[in-house]
Structure formats: C-alpha cells, structure tokens
Amino acid sequence: MAGVLLTAGWLLWAAPAAAAAGGCRPETPAVAGMARHDLRLAGEVLRVRVADEPAEWRAGFQHLCPGAGGPILFVFPVPQRMGFHMRNVHQPLDIAFLGEDGRVLAVARMAPGRGRSLAPVPVRYVLEAPAGWLAARGLRPGGPALEGLP
C-alpha cells in the first residue's frame, strides 16, 4: 500500500515523520504492529499481516526495502471502492481486490513512484504483495477463493 488511500470520501496521507532519509527499512513500526493471520488457499496456508486500522492502511509497504514485509491484507469495515498509490514504496507490488467471499475480483501491478490502482467495484478486502507473489499462488480473477478472512 502506499501513501494515499481514498476511501468513502476520505483522503488519507501517510505521516511525513515516517519517511526515511532517502532509504528503505527492513521493517516499520506500522508493519511491526500489524497482527498476523493465516489464510487458506486450496490447502496451502498463507501467512499475512492484517491492516485493519486507518494508520495501518496509510502505512502499508511504505519505506520497506524490497523483499521486506510480506503480504498485507487490508480489511475495511464495509465494502468500498478503494484506491492505492505507490508513494514511498521501493518495490513493485501486485494488488488483489477481493469480494466478501474471498474471490479475487481484479489484480493490478503497481510500480514504485508512479501509478495508482482503484478497485473496479466496492471491496472489503485488498491483498497487497511483492510483484509475482499472487501469481505464484494462483490468485487471479476466476481462481480459487481465499478462506479464513478475518
């Protein structure tokens, strides 16, 4: 996730104090504070971090070094059209917009420093991971549903 999150009319920016002086970090306080949760996909257990509070939504993958952080599951209180921006993100990310039933509705690739991705329909869950992580596990529209969503 990146610096800007558009949700139900809100525009949320990450705190400037979180910015590292031109570098990346192996972990940030926001990511370290995220709960861990196990999802299931066709018998495989996928360990994710859960971002279910506004400060966690804003932080996401910001300031993390490439390969750090692991997948993050964004959980929103009600389905909404969510938008994600790549501000202060140091690695390409894949983003999956999930329906309430855990099915992937859309997937997008986002490059560091540019672009924005907007959910095509209201979603309650968004799974963000380093580029290639979703495809390696068969997470795609029309594929199997994730089970065990919080």
Assigned domain for 10 exists = no
Residue 16 lies in a domain: no
Sign, CA torsion 24/64/67/85:
negative
SS3 content of the chain, % helix, strand, coil (to 5): 10, 40, 45
- Which of 107, 114, 111 shows the shortest CA–CA distance to 134? 107
pTM, to two decimals: 0.84
Total tally of structural domains belonging to the chain:
1
What pLDDT is attached to residue 3?
39
3 inside domain: no
CATH for 63:
2.60.120.1140
Whether 59 is covered by a domain: the verdict is yes
In which residue are the tokens 């949760």 written? 37
pLDDT of residue 22: 57
Domain presence at residue 2 = no
Range of the domain at 36: 24-136
Give the distance from CA 132 to its chain's centroid. 14
Sequence-separated (6 or more) residues with CB below 8 Å from residue 103: 141, 145, 146
pLDDT above 60: residue 5? no
Q: Tell me which H or E stretch contains 3.
A: none
pLDDT tens sequence across 65-77: 998 878 999 999 9
Length of the chain measured in residues = 150
